[in-house]
Structure 1
Amino acid sequence: MSSTATDPAADAPAPGTSTHDVPVRPGRFLARAAGGAAGLTVVAALLGLVRDQAVARLFGASHASDAFLIAWTVPEMAATLLIEDGMALLLVPAFSLALTRRAAGGHTQDPVRVLIADTLPRLFAALACAGGLLIWGAPWAVGILAPGLDDPRLAVDCTRLTAVTVLTFGITGYFSAALRAHGRFLGPAGVYIAYNIGIIGMTLALHSVWGVRAAAAGVAVGSLLMILTLLPAFVRLVPGRRGKAAVRERGSGSALLGATVLAPVVLFVVSRQSQVFVERFLASSLPDGAISHLNYAQKVAQLPMVLSMMICTVTFPVVARAMAAGDREGARRRVERDLALAGTVVLLGTAMVLGCAPRIVEVLFQRGAFDAADTAATAGVMRVYALGLLGHTLVGGLCRPFFSAGRPTWYPLGAMGAGLLVTTAAGALLTGPFGVNGIAAANAVGISTAALLMLLGLGRRAVAVRTGAVALSLARPAAAAAVAAAAGRLATDLVPGPLPGLAAGCLAVPAAFLLAGFVLRMPEAVHLPALIRRRFPHGR
């Protein structure tokens, strides 16, 4: 948190600065922003489940669904690199620096406008070329991603349709980073609602004509809807032209996008997403449906991680501005609080997945071509995969302070590379005897290794967090999650029927988590009654 957080006078805008460029009091503002963004994320996640249900019902776990999911690797990588981690890690600090310089004044050109004029056209051209190359080279891409496919033609067709996301996701990510740096979080959180609506609509409308290619076309249409969702807000954000055309100005923020800063961020994100490549490479040699079982398990199990990451996403601009202002102590406090809260949220979700996985899959997917055998296989993978959710959340949360200072740092790439090596080696050893469960276990071990290395290196290289304090803040919710998972599993086994059993588990898990947390003196559980009384005082 920046030093202005404790100074009431610091909330006043600087001369010549618009009020929407200056954060309001971080505590209340960030809570509202995180709550609103989390609400939209939940809606998008529910639509994502509807999307996956549609694909599962129409195509089951088959060669067609596997072909689509191989093509799905393109938007998965593009989303991570261009919307979430990569673009955000590069552009939020750049826009934060530009906003800080705007507030300081004394510039002949608006630093924000200079940054946009200097970066957006070049980004558009580069991504358009990259997307065109991927369309042309789709057969080679599929051969690398899934060499075990007997007939890759359907996967190639789907990959060519999804390749448009290289451009559309890049523009969406640019708009999202700019809006987040300005304290606008609802629009970026809502883009996946438009995205999933596009996929669902195209799949349901055209599956009888195009087969699974309709879902791939929906990816392209949905990605265009994402841009249209953010375009009005971004246009209003861009300051009006002042005098001559914008020119490159020293310190505008574009220096933070140079090759020495760009390379470690891009390579880190690629290495992180490469875990998916390893998983699908290994699963392509297993019987048909293995890639689908892994995908459905990941999609559901990752929901708690997505919600927990909203905390770090909303506070990332705060950390970036604190680092730009030299407030290292404020940044440390903010990062420690974020890791503790995000870890608690994802551990509660982990308990839900471990306790209720079979009922969750049965309620969400078991219909049409997706049968009871698919449910059992997917639920087993989901439980194993959930063991790495805390590691995924910590990697996502820890990479932000590493890159928030806007200077070159290769340590996150080294940590992620080590985790990827562990994933690859463990996957090669475990896939044969354990199938997709072995792939999921390798993922959990690899990402947890990367998270541990990043936590140990953060204090010496970026923000001086107290490693012991962070570990202690996560140990108690981890113990509470183990108790809650056992309670959820017992409840789902005792109550007959898919929906009633899932409802019983959904009640038992959070109740057991809070009770165990209270016994263990977990701060979130201990202070919850006081927070409720403060929010809803008696008699109101």
Structure 2
Amino acid sequence: MIRSFLTVSTGTLASRLLGFARDAMIAALLGTGPVADAFLMAFQLVNVVRRLLTEGALNAALVPAWLRLRQTEGAVAAAAFAGRVLGTVSAALIVVAGLIGLVMPLVVTLLAPGFAGHPTLQLAVDDARLMLPYLAFAGPATVMMALMSAQSRFALTAFSPLLFNIVLIAVMIALLGWRPDAHDAGLIMAATVGIAGLLQLLILLLGRGGGSTATPLRVAFDADMRGFAGKAIPGMIASAGPQILVVAGAIIASSSPSAVSWLYFANRLIELPLGIVGVAMGTVLVPKLTRALRGDDRTVVAHAESRGLELAVGLVLPATLGLIVLSEPVVRMLFQHGAFTASDTAATAQALTVLALGLPAQVLVKALAPAFFARGDTLTPLFATLKGVAVAIVLALVLGRLFGASGIAASIALGAWSSALSLIRRGAATFGFSIDAAARRRLPRIAVAALVMGGLLWLTARLMPAPGAEPHGVAQALMLAVLIAGGTAVYGALLALFGVASWGEAAAAFRQTAASDLRD
């Protein structure tokens, strides 16, 4: 499982790093004014769709159903079921995209009520309509990637999303050279989103991404499809919980100038560790747990849940502390270019510090939800997500008035913890979490290693000189890179010292990539 996890995590890390480059260019082109707020609100809708569809969420329903059919009725029946899912999902999303386009002013008003009565509303509507084709292209890409995950083919699933960011970055490089006004740049970038979605679908088709296991292709609304939709839709919403929480915060933030932009850029940094852990959990852990549960092998179930929790905690704790300690220099280096000012950096860093407090909860949700998904229960994670969203909205109405964007960030973090605690209580009451002795021994040591690393990082960060006239210059970037690399090295050394993991084990996990993990 670790090899598969690393394959998916590596692809996700590459995609997130390209995403930072993309967002730095967005900040330089649009800044944080009304044009940026409009574009980023529309882009957040696309990001939610991406999480709902393309980043492992559909695995919650499709993978267990496909594996069950292949085991009980054979490969032909499983392929026919997959063909109906592929055809039906594709057709349904084309219709949904068209309908949403017709009522887009109402949709944007509901999601950003603060835009009503301002030119920002029409800007957001125009941007969102130009991005809508992505929704139709994401449908078949979703099914193909889920089928590949069910067959332990993780490489193309992990790396195909890179193309989305590569296309957007290429267009923005051209825009930075051309220097159009912010309004025109936003429209061009919005139109590029749909093109990027098409290219991502094409690379999956060219790589035979599950097409051979989804035949014949049909549109159907029979009992099987209705049952599948009944499980898929709740699971997909639950898997996109962190992004839905951010959208809930943006609804409240839309009434404050630039707050939508500050929260967006802060959340982009949260999504790096969240994506690495969350996408890998959804893509790798669900198939592993499903197979173990079908074989009634409690030892394998305990091993899968324990290793998944160890990997999640081992990655998220140092990331959380690092984001809190280095929030301002990281934001300054990545985003303070062009129209993005020093005051924007300060506001974004404050929001990031508070959002990071909710990161462990968001990763816990990603680590715990597969235990429900593999058992065919998608409603419990859905209810936990909806509870968290309700908590976030109610608190944002209060904290947003008192503390602005930072107060809304705090409400998002508290909403995430509400969701995580709901899953913990429900899981313990229904089936219990199988944590083996090795995990009980390693988890406290991981926590101590992360705390020591965080303390050392805080002490050394205080030695960094204050930014000068060029706050994002080469010297500042190098010092920040040294801090991050040093903290990572210290954390790895502590894990080895505490007997949690050795460098040899990590290197072996990278080297021993089975052919079944990477075949095309």
- TM tier relative to shorter chain: 0.7 to 0.9
Structure 2 counterpart SS, 1:234: coil
Q: Give the drift of 1:303.
A: 0.7
The worse-fitting range, judged by mean Cα deviation, of 360-369 and 505-514 is: 505-514
Counting only pairs closer than 5 Å after superposition, residues 224-303 of structure 1 correspond to structure 2 as 224-234=198-208, 238-239=212-213, 254=224, 257-269=227-239, 273-287=243-257, 289-303=258-272
Whether contact under 8 Å (1:419, 1:450) holds in the other structure is yes
Q: Give the aligned CA root-mean-square deviation in angstroms.
A: 3.1
Deviation of 1:118 (Å): 2.2
CA deviation vs aligned residue, 1:489-529 (integer Å, no higher than 9, x gap)? 3222213352243134213423443466577x4x52xx325
Instruction: Give the SS at the match of 1:148.
Output: helix
Taking the aligned partners of 1:298 and 1:409, their CA distance within structure 2 comes to 26
1:166 aligns with 2:130: no
* 1:414 paired residue among 383, 407, 411: 383
1:189 aligns with 2:158: yes
Q: Distance in 2 between matches of 1:283 and 1:263?
A: 27
Once the two structures are TM-superposed, the CA of residue 264 in structure 1 deviates from its matched residue by 3.3
Q: Deviations over 1:475-499 (max 9, x none)?
A: 5434433332232232222133522
1:111-130 mapped onto 2 (5 Å cutoff): 111-130=77-96
How far apart in 2 are the matches of 1:535 and 1:40? 15
Return closer, same or farther for 1:500/1:266 CA change in 2, 3 Å cut-off.
closer
1:447 pairs, out of 416, 425, 428, with: 416
TM-aligned CA distance change 1:199 to 1:463, over 3 Å: farther
Which of 338, 343, 350 aligns to 1:373? It is 343
Query: What does the per-residue CA deviation read over 1:240-282, in whole Å, with 9 as the maximum and x for residues that have no partner?
Result: 97xxx7999xxx9957943542453245346654312211111
The range that moved more, 255-264 or 504-513, is: 255-264
Contact 2:70 2:77 in 1 (8 A): yes
Q: 3-state SS of the aligned residue for 1:90?
A: helix
Distance 1:364 1:335 in 2: 35
- Which amino acid counterpart does residue 419 of structure 1 have in structure 2? G
Q: Report the counterpart of residue 113 of structure 2 in structure 1.
A: 147
The equivalent of 1:21 in structure 2 is none
- Counterpart CA distance in 2 for 1:316 and 1:60 is 40
> For the structure 1 residues 358 and 204, does the alpha-carbon distance in structure 2 shift closer, same or farther, using more than 3 Å as the test?
same
Instruction: Tell me which amino acid in the other structure corresponds to 1:340.
Output: E
Task: Report the alpha carbon displacement of residue 385 of structure 1 after superposing the two structures with TM.
Answer: 0.9
Q: CA deviation at 1:92?
A: 1.5
CA distance in 1, matches of 2:210, 2:396: 48
Task: Measure how far apart 1:65 and its partner are.
Answer: 1.0
For the residue of structure 1 that corresponds to 2:255, the secondary structure is coil
Match of 1:66 in 2: 37
Match of 1:97 in 2: 68
Q: Is the 8 A contact 1:202 1:217 kept in 2?
A: no
Aligned residue type for 2:381:
P
Shift of 1:343: 1.3
Alignment partner of 2:483 out of 505, 508, 520: 505
Write out per-residue CA displacement over residues 158-199 of structure 1, whole angstroms, 9 at most, x where no aligned residue. 010112222112221111101111111111111221001122
Contact 2:87 2:217 in 1 (8 A): no
One-letter identity of the residue aligned with 1:450? S
Shift of 1:120: 1.6
Deviations 1:194-213 (CA, angstroms, capped at 9, x unpaired): 00112222334356273211
Instruction: Report if the CA contact (8 A) 2:249-2:408 is conserved.
Output: yes
Alignment partner of 1:486 is 2:455: yes
Structure 2: how far apart are the matches of 1:302 and 1:535? 24
Go from structure 1 to structure 2 and tell me whether the alpha carbon gap of 1:508 and 1:433 turns closer, same or farther (over 3 Å shift). farther
Listed as ranges, the matches of 1:511-526 within 5 Å are 511-514=489-492, 521=498, 523-524=499-500
Tell whether the 8 Å contact from 1:274 to 1:420 is kept in structure 2 after alignment: yes
Which of 88, 97, 101 does residue 135 from structure 1 map onto?
Answer: 101
Q: Secondary structure at the match of 2:326?
A: helix
Question: 1:383 aligns to what?
Answer: 353
Q: What is the alpha-carbon distance in structure 2 between the residues aligned to residue 375 and residue 267 of structure 1?
A: 32
1:74, 1:162 within 8 Å by CA — same for their partners in 2?
A: no
- Structure 1 residues 273, 310: closer, same or farther in 2, change over 3 A? closer
Q: Is the contact made by 1:115 and 1:253 (CA closer than 8 Å) also made in structure 2?
A: no
| Pair 121,533 (structure 1): closer, same or farther in 2 beyond 3 Å | closer
CA shift in 2, pair 1:267/1:299, >3 Å:
closer
Amino acid at match of 2:396: G
CA 1:384–1:477: 2 relative to 1, 3 Å:
farther
Identify the residue that residue 223 of structure 1 maps to in structure 2.
Answer: 197
Cα deviation, residue 446, structure 1: 1.2
Q: How far off is 1:68 after superposition?
A: 0.6
Deviation at 1:422, TM superposition (A): 2.0
1:320 equivalent to 2:286? Answer: no
Task: Please report the TM-score for the alignment, with normalisation by the length of structure 2.
Answer: 0.86
> Which stretches in structure 2 are left out of the alignment for 5+ residues?
466-474, 511-520
Cα distance between partner residues in 1 of 2:112 and 2:214: 49
Query: Is the 8 Å Cα contact of residues 489 and 505 (structure 1) preserved in structure 2?
Result: no
* Corresponding residue SS for 1:211: helix
In structure 1, C-alpha distance between the alignment counterparts of 2:441 and 2:224, rounded to whole Å: 39
Alignment TM-score, normalising by the size of structure 1: 0.83
Distance 1:131 1:476, change over 3 A: same
The CA deviation string for residues 106-161 of structure 1, in whole angstroms up to 9 with x for no partner, is xxx71232112322211111111100011111111111111112221111100101
Aligned twin of 1:437: 406
* Structure 2 residue aligned with 1:342: 312
Q: Is the 8 A contact 1:356 1:505 kept in 2?
A: no
Matched with 1:86 is 57
Residues in 2 aligned to 1:503 and 1:368: alpha-carbon distance in whole angstroms? 22
Distance 1:423 1:66 in 2: 21
- CA shift at 1:466, angstroms? 4.6
CA gap of 1:253–1:142, structure 2 versus 1, over 3 A, is: closer
For 2:13, the aligned partner's letter is V
Contact in 2 for aligned 1:332/1:463 (Cα 8 Å):
no
CA deviation digits over 1:28-68, x for unaligned, max 9?
xx333332322222221121111101111111111111111
Assess, with a 3 A threshold, how the Cα gap between structure 1 residues 329 and 214 changes in structure 2: closer, same or farther.
same
Q: Deviations over 1:277-319 (max 9, x none)?
A: 21111111112x2111111111112211212235423232111
Q: Which residue of 2 aligns with 1:44?
A: 15
Q: Which residue of 2 aligns with 1:33?
A: 4
Q: Distance in 1 between matches of 2:404 and 2:392?
A: 14
Asked if 1 retains the 8 angstrom alpha-carbon contact of 2:267 and 2:355, the reply is yes
